[in-house]
Structure 1
């Protein structure tokens, strides 16, 4: 029979392997990401303990002065994890004990836990990153709107299934990208609202018997309100999943027009011209113009998507309780999604602002592909009283004849059209050669598509005005968030400083 391991255990914390593989990386992560958050939480909690009378003026003042001394004396950037204390939180408590003694130093931790502290730290760090992301997404949105306005009459070939389909304008295409981006920005704003609820005061699980003021701590930390259910404060991770779910979708969606840019800049298509500032030349083939930034956009968008998805995967099937899976190193991994996402948003805004459409290549591609014949079929319905299917067959016959001899539909297709019309209907068409050329021109194709959401001037202009209004709304929300956070920081500093003057 073996001895009771509790009686024979001679080991001491921390195990050296555990120290190197877990505790040190966690300590380094806290140093890198959460120092300011720790400082703000300590100060806001201390102000609240003083205001509620849980601590006396003398006690609060002494702790406040000690916290100032720690900020002055401890260079966090030079700290190395030794294992003397478990983590960054206990390092601050150790420094407080050295200055105040264990009794007074320990009073700062009244009515709180590492559980509510940890989730508050993570939310503070996420809010900061979300706000940067939203700022950069707003800049991309502005660049897209400016480009769409500039290119609202610029013809391009629109593709379906990788093949030329119909003419539209670059402004119309960019407007579709804008619409998706506005929905993605809205999702991030909604995720931020979930992040913007303070867990402080939940303590370990069930709040506290002390008369704490959770709303006051939330206010001082710049949160919109406290998160209500205390169990949810330490167990719910929907603030993280909402955030990374929104990131995952944003960069999945951005990857699709990036892929189009890659295709459209190919030598064979060539309808997008990338300026020299964004082109790299081959080291061996001097004739090549490689739009390498678009490749970087593609893989960085994929990296961001993958990192965001990984956050959701890590939290899948975890228990509904406080647990390390959603904290510490997992969150640090998620921050990498923001870093690569920032690069995508900045670079894509620069690319969108500088690329231009090559009208000669667009004209050539339209001519070779006969993509205006859809309107010819439509016009036969309206002008000749045919069914769409009959008009479609006549238009197809004309297109096949022109493509077979590699000629231009507008200039060379009338005879084939007239013949196909007569064969199908048994009569001559009322459409003459001049009218035929107009009906199959790309400008006419776009101009008559005046329905809601179409590329013609009126619906596209109305759409662009709506996007600008949405963009202004996003900017207002971002400004209000920034102002509230700045005001909270100012108020916290003022109240904390006042504590030091009460002894």
Structure 2
């Protein structure tokens, strides 16, 4: 049978090739210019191309870059993709020499280099926001170091702590997430150029030189892996996912704490919407947007990772332009979460009246009473726990605050131990005060001021250390841009 059809089929053109062409215009055209420059510099420096031919190609590339209106460029099907469109432009100016730029490379190594360069920038922008949020939360934790809150476990009032102590726990997780993101960015830091299709080249190319000119730490070693190993994608989106999964848990607490029945967290008026029919309502709607945007970001990250599931360990479109571009939406929604979170949470405050009401009603300082009985009455903790348990039941039944329940405590102590307590009413009141509870928990990691101050200093040091790593990478990329521009201009002046 004779096949008279011509490429591209109109449906394939409109559903695949044209959208990919638009995606390259939006995300990769500038990166392709940088790759063309770096590769050309290397070809000339290694003698694969002569200085004269290198100059001609450099002039043509500069002319194409300067005179191409990307926005006006549309896909016609005349050329398979943007790469072939550029090559056709070179050939129209240089004849057969226009094809020499593609010596010792493939769209395979170019694509994965483009993808890494794009993700490198997006991940860097994300890291800036993560560190900004970390610093904002650290400042807020310092300011709220002594602000009492009710800490909840299993949805029930548990123990007193401080808002600063709670936030410091969130900061630790965020720093761990930033560390994971930094490690994932290391996976973006090795250049695929020189892998060509999958096995490198028979030409004496200098892979390290190209990697340097593009701002990478070095070439990715295994050429097959340059094309087949998409762990730079799965690793990045997996690390990124955890940021928003973990922030979502804090956001859920914000929703719970700001509920009318709890009322522990006050959201300022600037972040509150009113009902269209119920004028008494204060709806902290930004919290809901934070929650669903975090979940959307997690889902988008999962989408990218899951697309790689059960794919062959080889060159494949499943990891390339279409999927890469779809994943960028995760950075968009994630950036909105980080920006809003950085503005909202530091603007919120704790309602001390509601904290006191819940503290009194739920006997949340009772653990310190048990601890005090161990220290001052010589009881075992289990015996002290039994006294405290009996005391809390009694005061809750009578509707008293724990600090007002000395008589109930004395009776419970007598019933459990067979003797009178040596603890005075004043000592009992002190032992059951939330301020005492917090102050006595001064071990590393506790909410007491000395412990929390030490922790916050460490968090600042950790944040600075991650930023130093980030800035080192950015400085290297900027230096590479300068070096590549200079090397490319030198070709023009040959």
TM-score, normalising length: structure 2: 0.99
Distance apart, 1:287 and its partner CA: 1.0
1:489 and 2:481 correspond: yes
Distance apart, 1:176 and its partner CA: 0.5
State how far apart, in whole Å, the 1-side matches of 2:259 and 2:232 are: 41
State how far apart, in whole Å, the 1-side matches of 2:57 and 2:318 are: 33
In structure 2, the residue matched to 1:379 is 372
In structure 2, the residue matched to 1:84 is 78
Q: What stretches of structure 2 of length at least 5 have no aligned partner? A: none
In structure 2, the residue matched to 1:452 is 444
Instruction: Indicate the SS of the match to 1:156.
Output: strand
State how far apart, in whole Å, the 1-side matches of 2:385 and 2:346 are: 39
Distance apart, 1:444 and its partner CA: 0.4
1:333 and 2:326 correspond: yes
Instruction: Indicate the SS of the match to 1:407.
Output: coil
In structure 1, the residue matched to 2:3 is 9
State how far apart, in whole Å, the 1-side matches of 2:270 and 2:45 are: 59
Instruction: Indicate the SS of the match to 1:50.
Output: helix
Query: Runs ≥4 in structure 1, deviation > 6 angstroms?
Result: none
Report the more deviating stretch, 191-200 or 477-486.
477-486
In structure 1, the residue matched to 2:44 is 50
State how far apart, in whole Å, the 2-side matches of 1:161 and 1:151 are: 24
In structure 2, the residue matched to 1:74 is 68
Query: Within 5 Å, which residues of 2 pair with 1:73-152?
Result: 73-101=67-95, 103-152=96-145
Distance apart, 1:478 and its partner CA: 1.6
Distance apart, 1:320 and its partner CA: 0.7
State how far apart, in whole Å, the 1-side matches of 2:124 and 2:61 are: 28
Instruction: Indicate the SS of the match to 1:228.
Output: coil
State how far apart, in whole Å, the 1-side matches of 2:444 and 2:317 are: 51
In structure 1, the residue matched to 2:21 is 27
Deviations 1:60-80 (A, max 9, x none): 111111111111221111111
State how far apart, in whole Å, the 2-side matches of 1:369 and 1:191 are: 45
RMSD: 0.8
State how far apart, in whole Å, the 2-side matches of 1:252 and 1:44 are: 39
State how far apart, in whole Å, the 2-side matches of 1:53 and 1:384 are: 88
State how far apart, in whole Å, the 2-side matches of 1:10 and 1:285 are: 69
Q: Alignment partner for residue 265 of structure 1, among 258, 261, 264? A: 258
Q: Alignment partner for residue 184 of structure 2, among 183, 191, 208? A: 191
Distance apart, 1:456 and its partner CA: 1.1
Distance apart, 1:89 and its partner CA: 0.5
Q: What stretches of structure 1 of length at least 5 have no aligned partner? A: none
In structure 2, the residue matched to 1:157 is 150
Deviations 1:96-148 (A, max 9, x none): 111111x1100000000001001000000000000000000010000010011
In structure 2, the residue matched to 1:422 is 414
State how far apart, in whole Å, the 1-side matches of 2:71 and 2:182 are: 33
In structure 1, the residue matched to 2:275 is 282
1:413 and 2:397 correspond: no
State how far apart, in whole Å, the 1-side matches of 2:188 and 2:467 are: 19
State how far apart, in whole Å, the 2-side matches of 1:358 and 1:86 are: 63
1:469 and 2:461 correspond: yes
1:18 and 2:40 correspond: no
Instruction: Indicate the SS of the match to 2:20.
Output: helix
Distance apart, 1:15 and its partner CA: 0.6
Deviations 1:383-411 (A, max 9, x none): 1111212211211121112111222111x
State how far apart, in whole Å, the 2-side matches of 1:26 and 1:86 are: 10
Distance apart, 1:25 and its partner CA: 1.2
State how far apart, in whole Å, the 1-side matches of 2:198 and 2:415 are: 82
Instruction: Indicate the SS of the match to 1:325.
Output: helix
Distance apart, 1:486 and its partner CA: 0.8
In structure 2, the residue matched to 1:170 is 163
TM-score, normalising length: structure 1: 0.97
1:432 and 2:424 correspond: yes
Distance apart, 1:317 and its partner CA: 0.9
In structure 2, the residue matched to 1:254 is 247
State how far apart, in whole Å, the 2-side matches of 1:291 and 1:107 are: 61
State how far apart, in whole Å, the 2-side matches of 1:281 and 1:485 are: 48
Instruction: Indicate the SS of the match to 1:126.
Output: helix
Report the more deviating stretch, 451-460 or 137-146.
451-460
State how far apart, in whole Å, the 2-side matches of 1:337 and 1:127 are: 14
1:399 and 2:392 correspond: yes
Instruction: Indicate the SS of the match to 1:195.
Output: coil
Distance apart, 1:361 and its partner CA: 1.1
